[in-house]
Every structure is written in C-alpha cells, then in structure tokens.
Amino acid sequence: MLKEFFPFNEKALALDQQVMALCQPEFAKLEQIRDYNQLKMLSAFTECNMAATELFGSTGYGLWDPGRDKLEQIFAKVVGAEDALVRSQFMSGTHTLTVALFGLLRAGDTLLAATGRPYDTLEGVIGIGEAGKGCGTLAEYGIQYDEAPLKPDMTPDLDLIARKAPHATVCHIQRSRGYSKRNAFTLEQIEQVVKTAKAANPDIVVFVDNCYGEFTQTREPLAVGADLIAGSFIKNPGGGIAPTGGYIAGRSDLVEKCGHRYSAPGTGREIGCTLETMREMFLGLYAAPGTVCEALKTAVYAQCLLGLLDKAPVPLYHEPHNDIVTCFEAGSAEALVGFCQGIQALSPVDSYVAPEPSHEPGYTDEVIMASGSFTTGSTIELSCDGPLRAPYMCYLQGGLNFTASRAAVLMAAQKAWLQA
C-alpha cells in the first residue's frame, strides 16, 4: 500500500514490514493507556455538566465567561489538580512556563533546577549566559538560580538535590528531555525528586514542566506530589485541534498567583477573552488521549526502525514512554538534514519545501526544523528538529495519525540512510 502512493524502495519496504511485526505488542499497551485516559476524559466532561452553550467565546475583558471556567474545571479534574488556568493567550510552552515562574518567584528567592540545565529557550527566561540579557530575566529581577546536574547515568542526583533544596523556593523538574540524550523522567523518578526536595525543605514548591508528557501514562505528576504543572495546548493536551494556548494546574493558591502574573497584579484570572477558540480547545482536549496514542505509536515505530539501523534511539521501542519525543544520533549533518527533509516531504502542509538549517530565536546553534503542520509550531503534529552540532542529535515528536506518520518516518529514513 505504501508503494502505491509514494516512491519507497524495496530496502525501505522490507524494513517497514519487520518493524510493524515487532511493534504490535507495544501498540496494544499504548491502546490500554489511551482507553483509560479517554474514559477519564469522558467522566470529567459528564461530571462537570458540559453544555453546548459553553462552546461560545467572549470578547473584550472576557468577564463572566462560563465556557472558559468550565474548560478549566474539566482540565483540573482530568489532571488531578485543585485548580487550573487554561488560556488561549499562552503563546507557547516557554511562555506558559515563564508566567508560572514569574508568578511563583520573588526577588531574593532561588529557583533550583533539580533535573539539570533546563531547555534552551528557558535559559533566556532565567538569565543564563547572554540569552535574554537586558530583557527582564528572572536574574534581573533579583531571583537566584541554582541547579543539580544529572548523574552520569542521566538520572536525578537525589543527594545533591537534598543539599540544595533547603536554600530554594521553587524546585523545577523538566519531565521531557530538551536537547539532551536522555529518556523522559518516569512518574516514579519525579516522585523521588519530590520526596527528596520536600524532606529537605517542606515549604519548597515543586513545579513540573509537563510539556510532551500529558496522557502518555494514566496519571500526571500532580498524583505523585508535584505542586504545579504547566504545558502547551499545541502539544499533547490540545489534541492537534486547539489552535493555541497553554495551561498551569495544581494547588489553587499557586494557580491564583500565576493568574495575577498572567494578566496584571490585582486583576488576576477574571479577565481574558476567549474569542472563537472555545470549541477547538474543548474538542482538542477531548480528543487528546487518542491523539497522544497516535503520536506514541509513531514514536514506537520510529524507535524500532532507528534501532535496527543502529542509530541509538532513546527510548528503545519496548521501554515505557513518558513523553512523545524520540531522540537519536543522525551521525552527520547530511543525515540530519536528509531525515528532516524526508519528514517534510510527507507532511500534509508545505510538503513541497525543503527545510534548511538556520538560526532560531532562543537557540545557541543553527537548528533545522521540519514541520508541515496545520498549526504553526505544533509538536503534537509530526515534526522533527535538531541543532547542527555533534553528534547531530535529532528530536522527533508527534503524529496526529499513525498511518500517515509511519509513511513520513519511513521516507525520512530512506532519504537519510536507505538510498538504493
């Protein structure tokens, strides 16, 4: 069937059949997680008495917006939070995380990055190096930064966290990998960090960057003791339908603080019009468990294929998955570019263009990105990217539909390594 529509060679088609046979048991496990999360989602919608009239948005200040309030009520129930701030005004994961950090921290406080150096774009927010310098970083507002580097096996250094936590106000955990070659942290690992930090400092606030991790398991980090989580609606929880937005969820007092940073001190979360976004955000959230499962199937397929090609994927296809990201060593700049161009060539949007490396805001190296998506920057849709630096790691994520994503991953592999 693949060859009927696209120019795959025999080497690629034979590899595809081998991969599909190996992946079937893993697909069945992912479908069990999907089914649990979808029933949990349906339960939240029904318990909260979702009404058709709440699909319509508000204008202006956005005061007394029942749809926005209901969306936040449903989301909080799904992720196990006391409260949630779910808004279309959040432009990206980095923006949402920034609002949360500025909401939680004050001058003289210390932010402890308990899982090593955060993702590249957060360096500018924190004030690490030259990124963001002079633009109002946390450091420029008198907030201190400390970090606990990961151990050589890429697991949290609990002893170091225990020593540093007493001096910190907020303990930051990054669930997904960023631009590093490690697996996403499991909920059990997150729980260990939470317990360690709180044993050393009962007043510390544990904040988890949950981007890419939502609905990959049957629980979220709040279930293992985290105080606050945040993420983007153009990633997992938006189901590939939400056009923008993000969320902050957890303890009600902390969500309230973040609400005042989201708008203005003294004004808080009562404002923020939703315009025409409500239907798409409700529908995207409802569809998210199924969409995340499609993305995870894509990841498992890619990991199995890349493993057979000796590209050292992380995670391995048969390991538990705690985010939708796969990283692997392309081996060379040419292979990295070829893989990304293969993904672009079988994307539903902009398939006729070829991505090239370029400088991107917030990144220190040239980056190549492939994303033929319906929503700009969406990473629940199939995309891949990587910095042009040795060992030429590539980060693959997303996939709204496994059948189409399977074809794109296979074409990417063919362009990078399987030319006849």
pLDDT tens digits, residue range 211-223? 999 999 999 999 9
Which has more pLDDT, 121 or 283?
Answer: 283
Tokens of 124: 């500018």
Tell me the domain boundaries of the chain.
2-39+285-417, 56-275
Look at residues 248, 320, 309, 238 and name the one whose alpha carbon lies nearest to residue 277: 238
pLDDT interval class at 389 (50, 70, 90): confident
The predicted structure's pLDDT at residue 362: 62
DSSP lists the bridge partners of residue 229 as: 208, 249
- Read off the pLDDT band of 178 (50, 70, 90): confident
The answer to whether 219 and 186 are in contact (CB under 8 A) is: no
Query: What's the distance, CA 394 to chain centroid?
Result: 16
Range 18-33 average pLDDT? 98
Find where tokens 């923020």 sit: 272
Write down the H helix ranges in 267-312: 278-308
Could you tell me the sign of the dihedral formed by the alpha carbons of 156, 158, 163, 165, in that order?
A: positive
Q: Indicate the pLDDT class of residue 255, thresholds 50, 70 and 90.
A: very high
Average pLDDT over residues 133-154: 96
pLDDT at 130: 84
Say if residue 309's pLDDT is above 90: yes
pLDDT tens track for 316-336:
999 999 999 999 999 999 999
Cα Rg, the chain, nearest whole Å: 21
pTM: 0.96
Q: How far apart are CA 120 and CA 167, in angstroms?
A: 24
Choice between 359 and 60, residue whose per-residue pLDDT is larger: 60
Measured distance CA(81)–CA(256) in Å, rounded: 13
Specify the fold of 56-275. Answer: Aspartate Aminotransferase; domain 2 (3.40.640)
C-beta separation of 212 from 184 below 8 A: yes
> Where does the pLDDT of residue 420 fall: very low under 50, low under 70, confident under 90, or very high at 90 and above?
low
Q: How confident is the model at residue 180 (pLDDT cuts 50, 70, 90)?
A: confident
> Residue 321 has what pLDDT?
96
Same fold for the domain at 2-39+285-417 and the one at 56-275? no
The one-letter code for the residue type at 75 is F
| Residue 358 DSSP symbol | B
Q: Is 242 left (phi over 0), alpha (psi -120 to 50) or beta?
A: beta
Contact in structure between 287 and 237 (CB atoms under 8 Å) = no
* pLDDT (0 to 100) of residue 77: 98
Kindly tell me if the per-residue pLDDT of 285 is higher than 90.
Answer: yes
- Choose the CATH number for 2-39+285-417 among 1.10.3720.10, 3.90.1150.60, 3.40.718.10, 3.40.50.1370: 3.90.1150.60
